[in-house]
Amino acid sequence: MAEFDRELDASGLNCPLPILRAKKALGDMEGGQTLKVISTDPGSVKDFEAFCKQTNNPLLSSGEEGGKFVFLLRKS
């Protein structure tokens, strides 16, 4: 797993809360920093892909670790 500047654990939260929390976290970060998001909502995979396209914050990686979904987003 790549380096990240901040971690957001959105486990147990359902759509759209993981996206809303990530948006708030990214708003507090500097451009170029990386946010790691952990989610248990299977819908978050498509949600984060769409969110990153809409906001131009690159989705560096997405995958599954121990039954949880893990995303790395870079603040643009």
Of 13, 15, 59, 70, the catalytic one is 15
What is the chain written as a DSSP string? ----SEEEEETTPPTTHHHHHHHHHHHTS-TT-EEEEEE--TTHHHHHHHHHHHHT--EEEEEEETTEEEEEEE--
- 15 carries an active-site annotation: yes
- Give the catalytic positions in this structure: 15
